[in-house]
Structure 1
């Protein structure tokens, strides 16, 4: 492309600019062109053309989008900071602060690392772009830049083609859609499709071209016939047509696993009427004129979608046997859908509904689509300068990767977001190449570098200023682990000393399996758990020694120790009278109590154990502590339930679910629905999981099963279980 042709392209762009902005500063555009030509002189593209051709074509795209002189000038200068020796200050001095800020914004976005293809990363990057660009023109310039790059991608190598195409499909096409730039979004998608799956692209394009004449003819015939019939019925309506682009056709074929000919909305019509009654009258006319395709009708007027979208959807067999999809709505419904909360926008992008996200773009879409109606270009600029995502902070790693954090996040939150080990070894941070305190709140666009030291550990005061759940959870876990480590060490020393007094050693009872047996008897999973409990003074060393050598112990010691080791107690003591809960075989009027190790409920198989001075303790027959007392048959006694419907018994529930709004409240409501009282409850969040423990009162096993079934029916609840062994006090 010669410089003469390039100059003509600039003149065309300036002429177009004058059409929409009669008072536009066209000298700014010409000065930007001359400066770009000077600074990019000698630089070429992969095609062999002067590099200047790219910046001019970017400016041409912006002019065709009816952007202002400042934006078109930015298009000409958008690579000047990155690819030449020009400084920000020079751009500011020559073209003013507005152009300089836009060029700098485009340059920063160009440095973002776009390697990830995962959807969550793509979404974070889209938000990152929007959060950084308080002036949305930065993003529009970047989209124009990307559009020309992908238009000329044939000159790149295969690997680069696929990388750029995937990046465009993941990031830039959805961003264009969010900004209401439908034509650009469609072209970005189709060109990406061409490089990512060239064979399928050719097949879809060939089929689309083969059907092109028939499709256009079909749509015109249906439109003319429908307009005639509506007129005879005195129904005022506007009928518009639309044609699905190639990637959209392919995506629907893939999603629904259908062939090209089965994609019904390749040909589409939209009918907009004045009243709801006219919508249904129009539907009747359509179905009486063309054959309705079964299972293709949806009445979103009577039953609106959750986002309040309303419309009638139907499909018919039109001329030439081609399916035609038709949407019918009132003008009010149409305006509602165009404001961003209608399913059409979300359907096009294939995302789940997000009210907050859509509401932030509804006004922006109107501005971008209708800004040519504004008389004053500066009014348009003011509407664009908005902060779209005030609730999130998007920062960079030194290598340019993006991390999304909540407002108020600190370098410590960032460190844990990178990796737990980085967080635990963090001793300092650089933000934008300056050392800052670890409690410093991060801002959008900050470049954060974490300083680590191998033997460094978290400080307890970190919990006072971190805000992410991951950081809080990991810091608490670290200190719990350190506490456990100290308890294991202390427990080991205490037990070793006690065993030496008894003439043996810890290593001996570990080797001969005695410690393993006692560990299991006391309900612990590992020997370290038992040693930790000893260090925490939940067991006396004397008691453990007696457990290790049962020939020197009495069974009573086991029972007494079980009482002292509880984290909390929910006791229920009753005398065996005519109204009592337990019948003791051959004995009347004796004190009974329930073992806190297994907490029996009516409906459980139970057995009694005689405790000197404290009556009879009731256990379930499969209680681990009863198995440990298998040689004390003389102190076991048969018992049975004497159920009083007025008596309720404590039971602990453990519930796990995926975090969502009101999950805890819904769990409580599910329990209350079964006429069950809650004595205590506690919830704890970790990652995206909610763990709930609660003490309830039930009449027995059957009542408890009813409660468990009710809680299991709560949405996002994955596990509900009855906890027999006691948990820490709430």
Structure 2
């Protein structure tokens, strides 16, 4: 374990004015609080906070962040409290420790709504003080470096979380070195055979070709010396995971992958960057489509550099990054460069981005998003590379890789996107699904009366465009969704013996952060919110009981002890619908939906009527319902429809074609479902498919009991 004097030496090396007394006090306090606690490796637990603090000194961070690292687990794992930290180390440190503690408690690898909710909390923590995320990233990096001492299940869970959340987040913040190391450490756990194979091939390649990095570095330095340009040159082989990802993306084997080496040239000034670029392109052939100028068009996190790929020695493709020393400091530290110290004062780096401005640039796109859309936005933000396009006036528009003219239109203004009818790229009319490339000039053609189409959702890739299109489509279908939502809410509340009153719905809307009851019902009707979530918000204990799966033998309540029941084939009632029973000699009680036309026949036989209702709880998917679909007669459509039903956790019991036309098929599918909510989910998923022209529930009044 690094002792306190060694840690202080690391801090004072870049910040001679550091409050060393405060760091000593934090070291002693943390050591005392964690006394007796051990890591899985058998080491004292306090070795971990000290290692995290040491990692943060590499980024030359301020005293408050270093102290936070030493104390970041005290509130979570020891008897220390927020008040204790605030009294001894100040509210700034206490707030940072509290923020890290809350992030530690987030289950970021959970699924769907919970993951989205936790992502939002992560983002809120970032917006309050980005140093919280810096401590958390250093914490995760040290844990990944020592993950071999964890159980296999925990290793896999932490590695997936690292690969999906923390590595992309580090990259999005500009800390590319940390992203690469986190990815490779996770790759070591998740695919050890794949990683080992990459390393073996590297060793074989080095044996065959010698030290390529040393040779190419010498070639570059010789060229710079010839032109009298002062610069440093660094070469390295890319990380195993980076190579593996390229192999997967390009569908190529290792032997065909050429750009597995990367080189950085650090110059004295910006002018030299372009002189070096010219020298490299003059000495070697540039690879088309592999040039990016992030100096003239910086990334939002402050990253500046020129990227080019050339065909170097022996025809090997090598990637070269060219930047000044100040640009390099930001490239290494990312947004963290804002807090970087040198000689006891904040480093005045003109390229460091103000974290508040950076967070604001992200948050303005998320304000109107619900949980699912927010999750989509965050993942797009963290994983996307960028393309730079130009407006007809020459202004630059930044978009993620794979963006289309529709994304461009919505990026300009929602009104432009909604009224878009076409686009021109470099003066040529193109389809709206065309993928944009760097340097293209884009012009949007609009028309009054145009409205967003459901098919646009398959064209756009940006969260902003998807959110705006969904909102517009939701408004068009709002009345229909509100009516559906009312029925779903009634059924869900009936399940637990409650009434879906306006007051109950208003309360649920407020607790779920929805603006009013109409919006709540619209989200229910559009399947963006489940009825179970609404009920659980108001009656969690009842909802928990309702979540237990009901035995199919006692699904219907209201029968006498000696009576059995059968679902009516005429109306195929499912849990959630109001039901009534009709006694039938030799068949027990036939269960009908309350609105079944067959019941008219028994109006004058009240003695045969039995008052029934469904057992509250989660039913098995065992209630067959017939759906009639009209679908496109195209290859693969029927298979996709069947897969879509399966994705909704529903089983297809029977399928038959009713009508076959050259362009459309009409078919009936018997689907086994849990309840009315499950039926609605399946029908909504089918209606949303572009190749489904119509879907309806079929009730056959001819088949009577």
TM-score normalised by structure 2 residue count: 0.48
Specify the structure having the higher radius of gyration (Cα): 1
Structure with larger RCO (C-alpha < 8 A, sep 6+): 2
TM-score normalised by structure 1 residue count: 0.47
